[in-house]
Amino acid sequence: MPLLARMLPSPLAIDVRRGAVASLGSVLADRRIATEGRIAVAVGPGQGAQIAADLDLPHCEIFRVDEGTVDAATELGKKLRSGAYEAVAGIGGGKTIDVTKFAATMAGIPMVAVATNLAHDGIASPVSSLEHEGGKPSIGVTMPIAVVIDLDYVRSAPSHLVRSGVGDVVSNISAIEDWELAGRVNGEPVDGMSVTFARVAAEAVLHRPDSVDSDAFLTVLAEGLVLSGMAMSVAGSSRPASGACHEVLHAVTQLYPGTSNHGELAGLGALYASFLRVRHLDWPEARMREIRDCLVRHELPVAPSDVGLDEEAFTRAVVRAPDTRPGRFTILEHLNLSEDEIGRSVKDYVEAVGR
Ligand SMILES: [Zn+2]
């Protein structure tokens, strides 16, 4: 009987705990990622100096990342290439990590993602989302070789940023529904292993009664975000973690720059998409309630007004949403509602989820 299996690329090390940054050097040495200590470290403008002081890496060279743009990432990539480093660690929030992933891929060296907040699922994914010529495309990059999440730093980040990761991971439930819909309607291949990672990540967070105040919750959230990254790596795209939820979020960001943040908008988009499923696809209403209750429990937005948008503004974003991701088939493309119908659905949605 043939024994067939596939190999999945994954980070060599996942380290989620308090004080993880301080022992970064030993993690890199133990895992043979960097045996000579020739490490470049990229830090964001916020906590950069503090983090650099905490590191047990006496000979590392520190680079500051000020912008989340392709230009900034290319600039860093050139410096990494000329410096003969064994590895680069990107320490900070999503922007710093995305810039470092891109630069490391360009320089052909391994990248270690050191996350200081849990705002989104890009920590362990093979995707960089960077600003370029007015847009923010998702660019394929190599998967981080190690993922380090320091709960001390996570705790010192503004709590709304930590909570917003809940919205991003829970939005997987909606993204998976969209993927399976595309499978049924268009015959798009659905990868069961990728779905397994993405769904388990979301379900692990969905029903927990505790909050970002507890280390146990933060650990599960961090691991959920890592698993979401694995799901994307297996799928070779953001499909398992990005459907109508993220189309709505990208449209909001394009139309109303500066509104809320990634994870909060992903959760809101997922809840609205779930409402459409209940109304048009006979999705169980109890399922939508579970998502709503989870978002409310973590003080995340559920209505457009929670992120400062009125119903008309949100309607415009939903109308625009499919254009943000051409080729991705979700409930929005499936229903193909007119602007009037979308306007009515948003009104009914607000009534249904209001608190
Ligand atoms: Zn996301």
Cα(69) to ligand 1 centroid in Å equals 18
**Average pLDDT taken over every residue of the chain:** 92
Q: Is the pLDDT of residue 305 over 80?
A: yes
Cα(136) to ligand 1 centroid in Å equals 13
Q: Which residues pair with 14 in a beta bridge?
A: 147
Backbone angles phi, psi at 217, to 5 degrees: -65, -45
Same domain, residue pair 151 and 235: no
Please check whether residue 7 lies inside any domain of the structure: no
What is the pTM for the complete model shown? 0.92
E-assigned strands of 81-223? 87-92, 111-115, 127-129, 138-140, 146-150
Same domain, residue pair 228 and 259: yes
Tell me, what's the pLDDT at 137?
A: 78
What CATH number corresponds to the domain at position 323? 1.20.1090.10
The total of structural domains in the chain comes to: 2
* Size (the chain), residues: 355
CA 332 remoteness from chain centre = 21
Cα(19) to ligand 1 centroid in Å equals 26
- Tens of pLDDT, residues 63-89: 999 999 999 999 999 999 999 899 999
Cα(243) to ligand 1 centroid in Å equals 9
Q: Is the pLDDT of residue 355 over 70?
A: no
Cα(265) to ligand 1 centroid in Å equals 9
Cα(246) to ligand 1 centroid in Å equals 7
Within 8 A by CB and 6+ apart from 332, the residues are: 244, 247, 248, 273, 276, 318, 321, 322
Cα(83) to ligand 1 centroid in Å equals 33
Read off the pLDDT band of 138 (50, 70, 90): confident
Same domain, residue pair 205 and 110: no
Cα(292) to ligand 1 centroid in Å equals 17
Q: Give Rg (Cα) of the chain.
A: 20
Cα(311) to ligand 1 centroid in Å equals 23
Tell me, what's the pLDDT at 28?
A: 82
Please check whether residue 77 lies inside any domain of the structure: yes
Classify 152 in phi/psi space as left (phi over 0), alpha (psi -120 to 50) or beta: alpha
For residues 25 and 222, which has the higher predicted lDDT (pLDDT)? 222
Cα(219) to ligand 1 centroid in Å equals 18
Cα(266) to ligand 1 centroid in Å equals 6
Cα(120) to ligand 1 centroid in Å equals 6
Same domain, residue pair 166 and 139: no
Tell me, what's the pLDDT at 60?
A: 86
Last residue of a domain, one of 89, 124, 156: 156
Same domain, residue pair 231 and 331: yes
Q: Which domain holds residue 108?
A: 13-156
Cα(2) to ligand 1 centroid in Å equals 38
Average pLDDT over residues 120-144: 85
Cα(170) to ligand 1 centroid in Å equals 10
Tell me, what's the pLDDT at 324?
A: 93
Cα(178) to ligand 1 centroid in Å equals 15
- Tens of pLDDT, residues 261-271: 999 999 999 99
Which has the closest alpha carbon to 252: 240, 241, 267?
Answer: 267
Cα(7) to ligand 1 centroid in Å equals 25
Cα(167) to ligand 1 centroid in Å equals 8
Q: SS3 breakdown of the chain: % helix, strand, coil, rounded to 5?
A: 55, 10, 30
Cβ contact 15:27 at 8 Å: yes
Burial class (CB within 10 angstroms; exposed 0-12, middle 13-18, buried 19+) of 200? middle
Cα(28) to ligand 1 centroid in Å equals 28
Please check whether residue 8 lies inside any domain of the structure: no
